[in-house]
Amino acid sequence: MKIYIGSDHRGVDLKLRLTDYLKENGLEVEDIGIPNNKQDDYPEFAFKLGEMVRGEDNSLGVLICGSGIGMSIAANKVKGIRCVRAVSVDDAFKGKNHNGCNVIAIGSEVTTDFNLVCEMVDTFINTKTASEERHVKRVEAIKTYEEDN
């Protein structure tokens, strides 16, 4: 499984720490490769990461900005992407297991406990996607709407 990771300038430090952590735990991690500066804009990172996740079977994405909100909104505009903005392990679990999310967005200024960030990302990566009929039905409804509109 490949993990794509990207951040705006407010998430660079967390992105670097998290990338090292994930690689140390045997995961293939690829930074999306957009340089950061104080004037960068989160949609650029979210759109590129979403396109990369969509284009690579069995991949997931991690986005980091100050709050996680902007990244999640922008990522959810990419066809085929379902992004959860997570501030807890439960958010990460439900985003993947109940909603079939393939990208997680984290706020570097919201979730400042690195151990919690690691636990959220580990949970997101290791949780199976929606399998209960009610969850599968809902995810399929979202996919159908996205295709038709």
CA–CA gap between residue 146 and residue 23 (Å, rounded): 34
Tell me what pLDDT residue 62 has: 98
Q: Report residue 39's pLDDT band, with 50, 70 and 90 as the boundaries.
A: confident
Quote the mean pLDDT of the chain. Answer: 96
Burial of residue 123 (CB within 10 Å: 0-12, 13-18, 19+) is buried
How far is 117 from 55, CA to CA, in rounded Å?
Answer: 26
pTM: 0.96
CATH of 2-148, one of 3.30.420.40, 3.40.50.300, 3.40.1400.10, 3.40.50.720: 3.40.1400.10
Q: Domain map of the chain by residue range?
A: 2-148
Q: Looking at the predicted structure, is the pLDDT value of residue 133 above 90? A: yes
**Which residues are the active-site residues?**
65, 98
Q: Name the band, by pLDDT with cuts 50, 70 and 90, for residue 131.
A: confident
Quick one: which of 42, 132, 83, 138 has its CA closest to 92? 83
